[in-house]
Amino acid sequence: MGNFSDDMLNLDTLRKILVREEDTIIFSLIERAKYPINSPLYDKRPGLSGSLFEFFVKESEAVQAKAGRYSSAEENAFFPDNLPPPLLPLRDNEQVLHPRGASININEQISNMYHKQLLPLITSNGDDRNYAITAGRDLDCLQALSRRIHLGKFVAEIKFRESPENYTRAIRAQDKDALMKLLTFTSVEEMIKNRVEKKAMVFGQEVDLKENDNVGKYKVNPSVVSRLYGEWVIPLTKFVEVEYLLCRLD
Ligand SMILES: O=C(O)C(=O)C[C@]1(C(=O)O)C=C[C@@H](O)C=C1
């Protein structure tokens, strides 16, 4: 992590970071939901190698790479090939992750989930031609989701260090089911799903000075946020954890 050192690597600290990431994800969804789906943004364009959105993401990531974004172990690019090097010297980050697992990048899956499943649930139909601003909002959502999900590498490293014997047995057997069982805390997952639903109600409520005018109206449907976590964010985080652990002894 950007400024994370070995002695801060414990489950309590990491879970607090994940809780704070919930706020970032929910606020970014609220911001994206302000605009309709704007589907021409995602259509292939003559003269560009892909869509206007892909162009926007590639160019934004190149600037952010120069500014050092991808020097942080929890940041992963959506177009990681041929990124320019950072302009400033690399921060001297302590390498807390195992090198093989550190390079796991499941952004393609995250991007598919975002575009095919999530976006239609949080946007209205339509095209207001605000493509640049929409692309910026999309990138904010994708980066927040990606960061949260790839933090699973740190969670996995902590769990391995806290219980090396149990994990080593499952890793040597390359037993994905056993690893999944070891790293799963169902009660924690339930709490998260309930909390993000409540946060979506609080952060996304319509505020009006007249009482009761907007009761029950939200900028993003709170049950969609709970579903996002239950069906995609938590399972993908666990997928990252398992993939990380599988190569932890390499
Ligand atoms: O908090 C943990 O222990 C995690 O591994 C993170 C997480 C999550 O994605 O939020 C994933 C698996 C656990 O079952 C609980 C929560």
Indicate the pLDDT class of residue 214, thresholds 50, 70 and 90: low
Does ligand 1 come within 6 angstroms of the Cβ of 175?
no
Residue 124 CB burial class (10 angstroms; 0-12, 13-18, ≥19): exposed
Tokens of 16: 């607090």
Which atom belonging to ligand 1 lies closest to the Cα atom of 234? 9
Indicate the pLDDT class of residue 4, thresholds 50, 70 and 90: low
Does ligand 1 come within 6 angstroms of the Cβ of 132?
no
> What value does the mean pLDDT of the chain take?
94
In sequence order, which residues have a C-beta less than 8 Å from that of residue 111 and are 6 or more positions away?
A: 78, 142
Indicate the pLDDT class of residue 235, thresholds 50, 70 and 90: very high
Tokens of 52: 């206007």
pTM of the model: 0.96
- For this complex, say whether ipTM is above 0.90: yes
Does position 1 have pLDDT exceeding 60, yes or no?
no
- Angle at which helices 234-246 and 176-183 cross, to 10°: 120
What pLDDT, in 10s, does the model give residues 22-47?
A: 999 999 999 999 999 999 999 999 99
Alpha carbon of 18 to ligand 1 centroid (Å): 9
The span from the CA of 221 to the CA of 197, in Å, is 9
Per-residue DSSP letter, 51: B
Residue at token pair 């996304």: 204
Which residue has the least CA distance to atom 10 on ligand 1? 234
- Quick check: 101 and 250 in contact, CB under 8 A? no
- Quick check: 9 and 154 in contact, CB under 8 A? yes
Alpha carbon of 40 to ligand 1 centroid (Å): 36
What pLDDT, in 10s, does the model give residues 172-191?
A: 999 999 999 999 999 999 99
Does ligand 1 come within 6 angstroms of the Cβ of 194?
no
The span from the CA of 72 to the CA of 89, in Å, is 13
DSSP annotation string for 223-240: HHHHHIIIIIIHHHHHHH
In sequence order, which residues have a C-beta less than 8 Å from that of residue 128 and are 6 or more positions away?
A: 35, 36, 38
Span 6-246 CATH architecture: Orthogonal Bundle (1.10)
Does position 248 have pLDDT exceeding 60, yes or no?
yes
Indicate the pLDDT class of residue 19, thresholds 50, 70 and 90: very high
- Quick check: 145 and 233 in contact, CB under 8 A? yes
Nearest to 151 by CA among 60, 67, 72: 72
Which residue has the least CA distance to atom 1 on ligand 1? 15
- Quick check: 35 and 137 in contact, CB under 8 A? yes
Does ligand 1 come within 6 angstroms of the Cβ of 228?
no
Does ligand 1 come within 6 angstroms of the Cβ of 189?
yes
Beta strands in the chain, from DSSP E residues, in sequence order:
none
What pLDDT, in 10s, does the model give residues 140-165?
A: 999 999 999 999 999 999 999 999 99
What pLDDT does 211 receive?
A: 72
Alpha carbon of 232 to ligand 1 centroid (Å): 12
